[in-house]
Structure 1
Amino acid sequence: MLATTSNTLRSMSIWQRVLLGLILGALAGPLLGEHASFLKPVGDAFIALIKMLVVPLIFVSIVGGISSVGDVSRMSRMGRRTIGLYLVTTSIAIVIGLAAAAVLQPGAGVAIHETAGVPSDFAAPGIAEMLLRLIPENPFAAFSSGDTLQVIVFSILFGIALTAVGSAGTPVVRLVEALSAVIFRLTDMIITLAPIGVFALIAVTTAEYGISVLLPLGKLILAVYAACILHIVLSLGGLLVLLGRVDPMQFLRGILEAQIIAFSTTTAAGTLPVTMACARENLGVSQEVAGFVLPIGTTINMDGTAIYQAVAAVFLAQTYGIELAVMDYATIGATALLASVGTAAIPAGGLMALSIVLVSVGLPLEGIALIAGIDRVLDMMRTATNVTGDAAISVLVAVSEGELDRDVFSRRAA
């Protein structure tokens, strides 16, 4: 019996094993109850392992991608196209989020209780401050602290300088290529542990959040999840068909492993190694494009976060009985776009980013504490949506650059 089970598991692909881990974890959590806490170190260890790869992976991927492009004008074109597509998809996501909140009315009938957890002197950082944080005063400190936006900025500048010095930089290029091979191999090794890590994380989450916590704010959860699913299926799927001429169902199958890990860990940056592996091995995106597009997307492309901010702002307005005008909706949309782009550069990103949106239309910051209890549940879906958006744009950029291996992409349907 055990031998048969073992053989069956070995015959399953990694994404199938990860999905099995998620399902078993969801079933085990409620059964174990408070005893599920013994699994927490297992889940935390898995998150630590994948986070360990993020900074070195960003550096070698971006520097390697820029040096392989060689042509600065082509790199500039890829950059403009990447950022442009990210802004378009995030804007669409915000519109869907606002529409979902307006239709479903998640804040209607929610009772206001005493809230806590938001300091009275709490102040959201300004846009100028957010932009200044992009520039690392000390690159080594940025690497040490894991500030991904600053690491990206330094990596881009380093890659451009490495290309500019020509043949003198050849030894460094070779070193980066060797480091890339080692880190990709290490990524493959850690991914094999994903089913166990996902099982532990989901078991702990489902044990901690019972129905009693979810029911009062069920409509908010429904609104965020529905908006995210609509965005993935309609917006991203539509762009893949119209611009990429690829099958969105094959895309979703190819990125499923990254989606599950993002959903389980609630960290897009931590999922980056898996996202890059899926893009290269399952979707046929070249290493050059994946290494350039995905690290940038992990920090500035926040479709799910933008949806969450839009829905949460409208939810709180409805909860407090505050009527929003058309201009208020427009302000929420514009601020959510800017805040979602800057989220990764802000300490306590989710809280700070949402606070910027609330301040923009005069909503009480104390309302943040209303949804703090279910933030983990919301974060799971918005992170999976963020990762899906990153992968979709990598496919579109690869198509535009002639860097998509359609044979690899199509094999996922086999």
Structure 2
Amino acid sequence: MKKLALHWQILIGMALGVGWGMMSSSLGLNQFTADWISPFGTIFINLLKLIAVPLVLASLITGIASLSDISKLSRIGTKTIVTYLATTVLAVVLGLVLVNIFEPGKAFSPQKREEFKEQYAATTVEKSSDAAAVEQLGPLQPIVDIVPENLFMAMTNNGSMLQVIFFALFFGIALILIPPDKAAPVSAFFDGVNTAILKIVDIIMMVAPYGVFALLAGLVVDFAGDDPGAALELLMVLGYYCIVVIIGLLLMIFAVYPILVVVIGKSNYKHFLKGIFPAQMLAFSTSSSAATLPATMECAEKNLGINKEITSFVLPLGATVNMDGTSLYQSVAAVFIAQAYGIELDLAAQLGIVMTATLASIGAAAVPGAGIVMLVIVLQQAGIPIEGIALILAPDRLLDMMRTTVNITGDATVAMMVARTEGQLHPPTEIKVK
């Protein structure tokens, strides 16, 4: 008998977790769930925390070091990286604007938000104390804090992820500047480490259905208490949250990218969408930019007329460093969780989310579920309770499919822009939508 695909297993785990949680509330099994099921959800969260630092470190070093093979094409590389970073920042800011306008986290009843706030009162007090301490420091202190005085101390604290990212960028650039024969074994080492970590991600995702079941069962029990009907409030608010994320993703595909394709790429956007459509559908079904990469390259070359010299560099790099959809989702999710816990994020905290989400997207693995791992980084850097991830796991699979579609569309958009500015965009062959 054919094994169910992972996303179906996760969806079943979600449904069973919600069902078990509501049944526990009805039958008085809340304590049993808290003692014997919920801890497995905590273990799943801890596994995600476990790989956050090594995943970012190895992925970033590998991605930056790969530029050494095309050092003579610095002009194309600069255009590509700057454009990727610009679109990522734009996506994060768009997400923050939407989540601050619609405030989905505040859709919880005041009573529930007070319960969440009390549950993590210690975290909130600690965050307030930290903010007060920061106010007494100089205006450049945030920049000072990015540079670690001890790498190994930074690596022991997921809240110091910006320091790890700084070192990874610094180290990757150094690998480009030293002689290739000296850099090759180091690059090969980190490439091997990166491959091993991605395999660990695969293993963790194998137990994801069980972790999701335990997380949601515990969440529903905590949320509903002895009143199963209270779980309906959770489902309604999650629906509102999903709508906000989807609006942002649709704005990227139907507002931001069309402007870039038409103004800079000087191409018809309808033609562009038709050409990239097969890759979009594969991205939607696999939730993996890496798995979709061959199809994205084929569509870009055959359907959009982009020269192979551009696609062979811009698109693989994009699958590693350009995660517009994921970055937008992270900004919405982070503020949503903060709103749900009654944590007010000031402008400085939200600018920190912009920086962290942008840099974390560079190190995000192009595999299903990597967005959640990167969200752990964003939450911890912003001082938002990581346990809040349980709130958004239920609809994450659907959103993952949609944000991956946005990710690869963004890759193709940048490839077209770079190709046009380099004079390497040619009349495409006949488009065949599969």
Q: TM-score range by the shorter chain?
A: 0.5 to 0.7
Query: What are the residue-to-residue correspondences of 1:329-340 with 2, within 5 Å?
Result: 329-340=350-361
2:178 matches 1:139: no
State the match for 2:164 in structure 1.
129
Contact (CA 8 Å) 2:104, 2:244: kept in 1 or not?
yes
Q: For the residues of structure 2 that align with 1:230 and 1:251, how far apart are their CA atoms?
A: 16
Kindly provide the CA deviation profile for residues 373-406 of structure 1, in whole angstroms up to 9, marking residues without a partner as x: 2221221111111111001101111111111113
Change (3 A) 1:346 1:273: closer
Residue in 2 that maps onto 1:326:
347
Residue 78 of structure 2, aligned match among 77, 80, 89: 80
Segment drifting more, 137-146 vs 99-108:
137-146
Q: Distance in 1 between matches of 2:414 and 2:187?
A: 31
CA distance in 1 between counterparts of 2:376 and 2:410 reads: 24
| AA partner of residue 123 (structure 1) | N
Query: In the superposition, relative to structure 1, how do residues 237 and 384 fare at CA in structure 2: closer, same or farther (>3 Å)?
Result: same
Kindly provide the CA deviation profile for residues 185-241 of structure 1, in whole angstroms up to 9, marking residues without a partner as x: xxxxxxxxxxxxxxxxxxxxxxxx9xx896441111111111011012211110111
Q: Distance in 2 between matches of 1:347 and 1:238?
A: 29
For 2:196 and 2:268, how far apart are their aligned partners in 1? 35
The gaps in structure 1 that reach 5 residues or longer are 1-34, 45-57, 67-71, 116-120, 150-208
Percentage identity across aligned positions? Answer: 40
Distance 1:278 1:251, change over 3 A: same
Q: Which amino acid aligns with 1:321?
A: G
Query: Where does residue 89 of structure 2 map in the other structure?
Result: 91
- Please give the alpha-carbon distance, in whole angstroms, between the structure 1 residues aligned to 2:410 and 2:286: 17
Q: Tell me if 1:396 matches 2:417.
A: yes
Cα deviation code 1:232-285 (max 9, x no counterpart): 221111011111111111111111111111111111111111111111111111
Decide whether the 8 Å contact of 1:142 with 1:148 is kept in 2. no
Cα distance in structure 1, aligned partners of 2:342 and 2:6: 42
The answer on 1:352 being equivalent to 2:341 is no
Quote the Cα distance in structure 2 between the aligned partners of 1:281 and 1:346. 25
Matched, 1:371 2:420: no
What is the TM-score of this pair, normalised by structure 2? 0.59
Aligned to 1:180: none
Q: Secondary structure at the match of 1:107?
A: helix
Cα distance in 1 for partners of 2:266, 2:353 equals: 33
Measured in 1, the distance between the counterparts of 2:432 and 2:313 equals 23
**Counterpart contact for 2:162–2:356, Cα < 8 Å:** no
Q: Report 1:10-409 matches (<5 A).
A: 39-40=4-5, 66=70, 73=72, 75-110=73-108, 111=112, 123-124=158-159, 126-130=161-165, 131-132=167-168, 137=186, 139=188, 142=191, 146=195, 215-344=236-365, 349-408=370-429
SS where residue 323 of structure 1 aligns?
A: coil
Q: In 1, Cα distance between the equivalents of 2:6 and 2:93?
A: 39
- CA change 1:139–1:42 in 2 (3 A) is same
Contact in 2 for aligned 1:147/1:345 (Cα 8 Å): no
CA distance in 1, matches of 2:381, 2:164: 16
| Displacement of 1:330 | 1.6
Equivalents in 1 of 2:190, 2:100: separation in Å?
A: 44
Work out the CA distance in 2 between the residues paired with 1:330 and 1:128.
Answer: 16
The Cα offsets for residues 288-346 of structure 1, whole Å up to 9 and x where unpaired, read as 11001000000000101110110001101111112222222222112211111122299
CA distance in 1, matches of 2:85, 2:6: 37
* Deviation digits for residues 41-84 of structure 1 (CA, Å, limit 9, x no counterpart): 8999xxxxxxxxxxxxx99xx89x95xxxxx54x1100000001
Contact (CA 8 Å) 2:264, 2:417: kept in 1 or not? yes
Distance 1:265 1:298 in 2: 14
Cα–Cα, structure 1 residues 412 and 96, in superposed 2: closer, same or farther, change >3 Å? farther
Distance 1:145 1:279, change over 3 A: same
Structure 1 residue 146: deviation in Å?
3.4
Q: Over residues 126-163 of structure 1, what are the superposed CA-to-partner deviations in whole Å (9 max), with x where a residue is unaligned? A: 345345386774627835963799xxxxxxxxxxxxxx
| Number of aligned residue pairs | 293
CA gap 1:377/1:252 in 2 versus in 1, 3 angstroms: same
Change (3 A) 1:364 1:393: same
**What letter is aligned with 1:325?**
D
SS of structure 2 residue aligned to 1:382: helix
Distance apart, 1:40 and its partner CA: 2.8
Distance 1:394 1:148, change over 3 A: farther
Aligned counterparts of 1:38 and 1:351: Cα–Cα separation in 2:
24
Structure 1 residue 125 displacement after superposition: 6.0
